[in-house]
């Protein structure tokens, strides 16, 4: 009986150690992904949640699992709450996706190259109003390529 109990305890310890090592090994890659900075030239003014941001060159920095920081021309900047989304096939290159209603653009998604997991914005009140104004017709999707910016 003692031998069986000792074997059970040792097996549990080995499993616990393996799980701990796995968690520690994955921590640096998760941290590296969260520090990825993207850059993109956005040729039009756009809305991100309740903010209107001007056209120009932007740096996109992931602040947390659900928040990105957009740094644009001059002092233009905005924090945007997002939630996770995924694709079955990872994109070959990073993209930022907008929904266009008439001449208004709304930030929709952010994707990094070769990663099936991206970020998506919830529809804001302004976007819902634009959708109603267009008789619930689907928006035009506009995708812009992003590049990975060097770390500061």
Residue with the two structure tokens 């500061």: 152
Q: What is the average pLDDT across 12-38? A: 45
44: pLDDT strictly greater than 70:
yes
Of residues 24 and 139, the one with the higher pLDDT is: 139
Residue with more model confidence, 151 or 65:
65
pLDDT for position 35? 59
Q: From the centroid of its chain, how far is CA 49?
A: 15
Residue range 103-143, pLDDT digits in tens: 999 999 999 988 999 999 999 999 999 999 988 888 999 99
0.75 cut: is pTM over it?
A: no
Count of CB atoms situated within 10 Å of the CB of 55: 15
Q: Of the candidates 75, 127, 68, 84, which has an alpha carbon nearest to the alpha carbon of residue 102?
A: 127
Facing residues of 42 across strands? 56
Q: Which residue has the higher pLDDT, 13 or 103?
A: 103
Give yes or no for residue 30 having a pLDDT over 80. no
pLDDT-derived band of residue 92, with 50, 70 and 90 as boundaries?
confident
């Amino acid at each position: 009986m003692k031998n069986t109990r000792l074997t059970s305890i040792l097996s549990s310890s080995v499993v616990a150690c393996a799980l701990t090592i796995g968690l520690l090994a994955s921590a640096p890659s998760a941290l590296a992904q969260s520090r990825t900075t993207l850059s993109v030239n956005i040729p039009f003014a756009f809305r991100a949640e309740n903010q209107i941001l001007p056209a120009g060159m932007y740096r996109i920095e992931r602040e947390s699992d659900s928040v990105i920081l957009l740094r644009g021309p001059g002092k233009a900047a905005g924090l945007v709450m997002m939630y996770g989304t995924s694709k079955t096939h990872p994109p070959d290159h990073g993209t930022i996706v907008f929904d266009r209603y008439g001449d208004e653009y709304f930030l929709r998604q952010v994707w990094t190259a070769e990663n099936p997991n991206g970020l998506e914005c919830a529809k804001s009140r302004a976007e819902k109003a634009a959708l109603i104004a267009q008789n619930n017709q689907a928006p035009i999707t506009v995708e812009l390529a992003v590049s990975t910016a060097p770390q500061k």
